A and B are shown apart, each in its own frame.
Chain A
């Protein structure tokens, strides 16, 4: 019989696996990483010694529990780490593991592909020393390194304060935190944020801690440009008071997260514009069922809601798989999970108000700013194509190569959409959706093929 397959061993994937195993199902769990946990609960290499509290702070208990769940389940799963799913077709996934290609047919699949940072480029962002906020966190958590000697954190989103705090706590020199959201937005967001008081309290704690330790935190602060020859030397930022310069040798920046939706797309899921995420997302019901009967969606890969929600959504999607396979499931557990997810979504709406998307980013981005770092396409190149009459994002890509390189638009897709929308004077929801194309990540010539 074809197995149930889970893609991604983060919070959603691990909880989904646990739920299936509890009902006697032996799922295949595919994960690109060597050790499960996903990004936010990423594990350090086996010979590293820092404690969970050191690595995950307030989230240590959750991280440990998740890792232990995977370790305990290992024998009851067909767990395949270091395995990239590079393509998906109607009832099969194509994988790459240590240079070998193979195909797995599935009866049902839970897509829990997670997220990456959402990037709104600035002049100089391709310089060595500039990383995404997620990257800065991984350098520390996974490798015990800071991205530089004197680091500036910029952008917006919950990761901004969290990573700055983690860096300062680990002994890195944090030069400043530049939060693009104005203080007023965060006051307005309070009602929504109060739906998750514990999470809100942690956010406030990180910021207060930074201020108490003399680290400048600026709100309504826009990163303008990053300068340097071979690496970062300084940056310019601005606020209502004017433009300022800071000397630094590293910058971490992002504006929240974006879902990894390529596999859901290749699996044929219908997408809809999601204003909260400001992105096209695969549609799902409250249980995580997509528009395709055998495909289920869970976690940040189907819309950004964070790790707690991902654990719940993973369990809920697995319960849906079981239900659809005719297993008896506890309806009250489903209701409970759905209610919790709804509460987190209210909080998420608050976060989006607090860390408001910088609507003016496209208009303020100069023509010479590099948008697509793979193909080296600048804002002006994209605008030129729009001026020639194109406005649909796949057409613009075809003409100027933005989003056409190795990363398949992961880093530049959101920004390209904003530039096109701005130049064509359309809403960003009205310029079409960047279509996914296999391979989801680069595929080497000369690979071996399992028959």
Chain B
């Protein structure tokens, strides 16, 4: 929650230029990570060096925004130094909070940097009062980023039973797996998103063109095939299209994006403190457009506008792609 009591808009930045773009577009907070395996968006050329983080924090603070540093992969047994170093560096740079899931990282922060706020990453998949209470009591976690499996009614009920703030994803990529516990891509790539920070490592991704179109492959496994001219996607196994018998289809989940913009008013009523936009791997053009639109939408919600008016503000963000409110609106219940 911001000092004015309105919901906090938490926005992604994969590069310093995206951080500046988010700040200038109206983000209350920006989350980012270091250029290594300690964060869950470990792509080549992405993320921040310690110096870039320090400069980014100075820039954000000068404009009234906060910076939250994601150290949200799980430390490797026998090699915890990268995570310990990342935590120490984030605190030294003046991060407003560290977002973590691993109890080793949480413990290190709580004992060595008790003055730095701790947010529980979605990677911890904490969705019950008991698990959230454990993290709050053991490590003084102040906010939990909620897994994308709860309805808004369940979030409201949860908020009545816990003492910490909640942050809900509101826009961007959608992961239907239990976050922090998904090993699907590990079977193909041999690397874990939870330990190495990336579902489909780019070095194992290929797009091979032939007369029938383009085959998207991960570690040699064909995940999807696109006809000439057909829009393609980044090949993650969970969004792959597979053929069984004569029928081809999405086995795990359809490639739809989350857009819960129409539920901002409901989130506020449910006691949600912060709304999170996904997309640290996206460019600054995306960051600017989405943050600007959600800034207007959140402000409108705070001023009492209804869901229809907020839908109109966000109408330009569909990009022609398929979108869903995900589990937040479970109409089958």
Whether chain B is bound by chain A comes out as: no
Identify the B interface with A (CB < 8 A).
none
